[in-house]
Copies of this chain bind each other. A is one copy, B any other.
Amino acid sequence: MAMIINGRELANEIDGQTKIEVEKLSHEGLIPHLVVILVGEDEASQIYVRNKHKRAESLGIKSTIIRMPVNSSEEELLIKISDLNKDKDVHAILVQLPLPEQINEQRIIEAISPNKDADGFSPINVGKLSSGETYHLPIACTPMGIMEMFKKYSIDLDGKNAVVVGRSNIVGKPMANLLLNENATVTIAHSHTKNITNIIKQADILVVATGIAHFIKKDQVKIGATVIDVGMDRDENGKLTGDVDFEGVKSIASFITPVPKGVGPMTISMLMKQTVNLAKWSI
């Protein structure tokens, strides 16, 4: 029976460290400041933005939400970002995705100063991660949170077969780079992959980010594997669930993350930690 990785608990622990760090910096006159830009009124985005705001405030991080109307132009958003890039009081900028269709997401991501890149999506930061140049580097928060889990639970990655299912720029690709930097043998599988069961079956470390509820079943998983579920799906009853059939897989894995209370809570904690780091690195 697998050990269940408690993402909620680890997130609380990291938040505790972040809070102490913020207090220390405040004494030195530096108050980390995160600015989140929300364009439009997408319901899920509003919840995410509110959660980030609350978490930041609870840790003593200054949090500003800038709301822009759904019909804002790309130009207006670029001007806003340019102002924030120049503002010395702002340490971290996050543009909540998705954006309305008149705005090119990639162009917006590229406009954020790499030194204030709260999400770690800026191409120069992505490139440095790929090259293994990780000194003072902001990195995508979800895979960073997963790396913290490996560390906390002393899960060795060196030489292990790691399979990442899903190749998004937000999770799959940075995850693969982080695992490779820790000397895992890394395979990226995705929607075009053939014989996916055969590939998954060889994973010592399995990270699943497909967005398909219960995509991974017990008989596909190697006995003793570490299984990380990035999914935030709804089952047939509308209940929050993951990409992994947790009940089945936990009987054969050695470590597994649940949904909820697994990867989810870590992402926002890593965003807070990264905001504080960006503030520290700015001086």
Contacts and interface: CB of A to CB of B under 8 A. Distances in A.
A189 B185 CA distance: 5
Given A186-B187, A189-B185, A159 B194 contact: yes
A248 interface: no
A250 to B, nearest CB: 26
Given A127-B127, A187-B187, A180 B167 contact: yes
A170 to B, nearest CB: 10
A133 interface: yes
A125 to B, nearest CB: 7
Most B Cβ at <10 Å: residue of A127, A169, A195: A127
Contacts of A189: 185
A124 to B, nearest CB: 4
Given A123-B124, A124-B124, A188 B185 contact: yes
A108 to B, nearest CB: 13
Contacts of A183: 190, 192
A269 interface: no
Interface in A112-159: 122-128, 130-133, 158-159
Interface of A, secondary structure class, is mixed
A68 interface: no
Given A167-B180, A169-B131, A187-B185, A158 B192 contact: yes
A199 interface: yes
Contacts of A186: 187-188
A133 B125 CA distance: 14
6 contacts: A123-B125, A123-B133, A124-B127, A159-B194, A161-B194, A176-B188
A-B pairs, top 7 by smallest CB distance, nearest first, are A123-B127, A127-B127, A126-B127, A187-B187, A183-B192, A185-B193, A159-B192
Given A126-B130, A185-B193, A187-B188, 15 more contacts: A123-B133, A125-B127, A126-B126, A126-B131, A130-B130, A130-B173, A131-B169, A159-B192, A161-B195, A180-B188, A183-B192, A185-B192, A185-B194, A185-B199, A186-B187
